[in-house]
Structure 1
Amino acid sequence: MDALFSLVRRYPVSAFFTLAFGLSWFCWTPYILSDHGLGLEPDIRIPEVLGTGQLVGVLPGAYLGPLGAAFLVTAITEGRSGLREWAHRLKHWRVGWRWFLAVLLVVPAVILVAPLALPKTWGHITMPSAVILLAYVPMLLMQLVTTAAAEEPGWRDFALPRMQDRFGPVLGTSLLGLLWGAWHLPLYLTEWGGPNPTWLDPVEFVIICVPLSLVMTWVFNRSGQSVPLIMLLHAGINSTYSLVWGEVYPTLDIARDPLHGQLIASAAAALILIVATRGRLGLRSERPVPVPV
């Protein structure tokens, strides 16, 4: 055990990703093998909540992976002081009302405007119903305490500061984005990946995670490393695509076209931020300090 702990202390970021992937993928195995996935083990019953098995099948592995890995590696490598710093970013809500306004209003607006770059959307836009708009806040809260709370304490709270210190904001974030996207890949073997996904769908998803991560890094750095704000951003993106997007663009393929729209929106925003910040993405220190990976 001492040798294992010593290895974790020497390579904390590598240990984090190994645990995050291993724990999540292990927990997702029954879900993937069940009727909600490959159907290889029909005796495995995944309870459905709100008409889907995703909450029971995905969330335990999501929490145990990034969140659990971040807690364990921080405790082993930095002890109580490291856990306090990690928890401080999780509680850092005081970032100014403009940030929350931008996340709550600007981000959904950009997501809903981006598909206009696709010619087949022209003349086929509808206003979402009042029921959809009323359901947005409950959906946002659910996404906040489920997906965002499970992932962001690991990806952004633990991994991002270390990766951008080691590799710089753009390269470090790009590597994080690729790994973040790859972590989701086994879920494409389940209902999570939508009906009849092609091999291009997971590839495009992983690619999208890079510019999206670059935008999130800028928000993280500029807000004083506020993880709750990042969680709200993550939840807002998911809620807009899950609930509102299909109402605004009823003629598009709900399983695939959101990926194209998200790629357009996140790539354009990331490019603007990289140019405007000269690659710093809001990071204040001039010289990244290498740390073990």
Structure 2
Amino acid sequence: MATPGTRAVPEMDSRSLAAFLAITFAITWGILGGYIFWSAPMITLFGALHGGHPLFFLATWAPAIAAFAVVSWHGGGDGLRAFLSRLTFWRCPAWGWALILVVIPLVYMAGSRIKGGPLLAPLPPEGAGPVVSLLLMMLFLGPVEEFGWRGVAQPLLQRRVAPLWAGAIIGTIWGLWHLPAFFLSGVVFAEWQFLPFFVGNVTLAILVTPIFNAARGSLLLPMLFHWQLINPFWPDAQPWDSWILVAVTAGVVWLLRDRMLTREGVVTDVIPPGLEHLK
């Protein structure tokens, strides 16, 4: 029963997760599939697909679009505002911030050095300015996905399974969601190997899980985590970054096994309870 001054929000369940995934895959695979199977008409109508193309942004934003649709359907405007309030959840133990700000960059640097590359990505002749601009643009690509993966999918899955398995399931879905991009030229995925990337997706989804739960379901921290993954200042470390991340994640899971293997205290709310402050 809703407390006085609040509006009851219909419970989100497995059907909500199914709807989120259906919308997400329909948008992304629909756009990328069009360029794969009907490339000539798509290029004629919309131009060649590349990392700055509006349709590439739309395909990338699909998890967020799906999340907003599902949350709005269940909670209306109040529910959506409460959902977005999770962007203000910044408190997290120091180890969570260290994973984001220190460990992820070190993984890229170590992977690059193993393959004989530099510690940082080489700057273009124009200097750091274009790289900073790209970094800011990246903020509006991958991190926006987290409205869906950690915003909706993670809490709903954690109602059923322990955080470790919720992260692994999301990582598997996340990796498969990217698959069509590996068949397209003009985007960065065309230059990578899918298997290490897929392993990396599963690993990263597990690694961000304890941060997500320790920060009470924050959307901010997973978005910063994701931003680090696509930071253009970090060197290309494929495929070694994926394998190093497996080792790092295994260590984190072992150290935090009490958090990762039990559902006690995990975040299960997509829409934070208590909407009276929105009235």
Q: Shorter-chain TM-score category? A: 0.7 to 0.9
2:27 to 15, 23, 37: 23
1:87 to 84, 89, 93: 84
Report the TM-score when normalising by structure 2.
Answer: 0.76
The AA in structure 1 aligned to 2:21 is F
Matched, 1:269 2:248: yes
* Corresponding residue of 2:276: none
Matched, 1:155 2:134: no
Matched, 1:111 2:90: no
Give distance in 2, aligned partners of 1:245 and 1:127: 5
- Give unpaired runs (5+ residues) of structure 1: 1-5, 247-257
Give distance in 2, aligned partners of 1:71 and 1:229: 19
Give distance in 2, aligned partners of 1:100 and 1:286: 20
* Corresponding residue of 2:18: 14
> Residue 28 of structure 1: SS of its match in structure 2?
helix
* Corresponding residue of 2:209: 217
Q: Is the 8 A contact 1:140 1:239 kept in 2?
A: yes
Q: Deviations over 1:149-196 (max 9, x none)?
A: 2x1100111111111221110111101100011111111121225557
Q: Is the 8 A contact 2:217 2:267 kept in 1?
A: no
| Percent of residue pairs bearing the same amino acid type | 25
- Give unpaired runs (5+ residues) of structure 2: 1-9, 271-279
Give distance in 2, aligned partners of 1:173 and 1:13: 14
Q: Is the 8 A contact 2:162 2:260 kept in 1?
A: no
Give distance in 1, aligned partners of 2:102 and 2:266: 34
The AA in structure 2 aligned to 1:217 is T
Matched pairs, number: 257
> Residue 226 of structure 1: SS of its match in structure 2?
coil
Give distance in 2, aligned partners of 1:148 and 1:279: 28
Q: 1:137 to 1:283 in 2, by over 3 A?
A: farther
Q: 1:54 to 1:125 in 2, by over 3 A?
A: closer
Q: Is the 8 A contact 2:161 2:263 kept in 1?
A: no
Q: 1:105 to 1:39 in 2, by over 3 A?
A: farther
Matched, 1:205 2:202: no
* Corresponding residue of 1:228: 220
Q: Is the 8 A contact 1:221 1:282 kept in 2?
A: no
Q: Is the 8 A contact 2:14 2:156 kept in 1?
A: no
Give distance in 2, aligned partners of 1:79 and 1:285: 29
Give distance in 2, aligned partners of 1:181 and 1:42: 26
Q: Is the 8 A contact 2:120 2:235 kept in 1?
A: no
2:140 to 145, 152, 171: 145
RMSD between aligned residues: 3.5
Q: 1:166 to 1:96 in 2, by over 3 A?
A: closer
Matched, 1:237 2:229: yes
Q: Deviations over 1:9-64 (max 9, x none)?
A: 66111111111111222233444457xxx55755234267xxx454323111222x
Q: Is the 8 A contact 1:103 1:236 kept in 2?
A: yes
The AA in structure 2 aligned to 1:28 is L
* Corresponding residue of 2:274: none
> Residue 159 of structure 2: SS of its match in structure 1?
helix
Give distance in 1, aligned partners of 2:86 and 2:253: 24
Higher RCO (C-alpha under 8 Å, 6+ residues apart) = 2
* Corresponding residue of 1:254: none
Give distance in 2, aligned partners of 1:89 and 1:231: 11
Give distance in 2, aligned partners of 1:107 and 1:72: 32
Report the TM-score when normalising by structure 1.
Answer: 0.73
Q: Is the 8 A contact 1:90 1:228 kept in 2?
A: yes
Give distance in 2, aligned partners of 1:60 and 1:286: 35
The AA in structure 1 aligned to 2:199 is I
Q: Is the 8 A contact 2:183 2:190 kept in 1?
A: no
What is the CA-CA distance between 1:203 and the residue it aligns to?
A: 3.3
> Residue 158 of structure 2: SS of its match in structure 1?
helix
Q: Is the 8 A contact 1:221 1:281 kept in 2?
A: no
> Residue 216 of structure 2: SS of its match in structure 1?
coil
What is the CA-CA distance between 1:75 and the residue it aligns to?
A: 2.1
Matched, 1:164 2:155: no
Q: 1:54 to 1:103 in 2, by over 3 A?
A: same
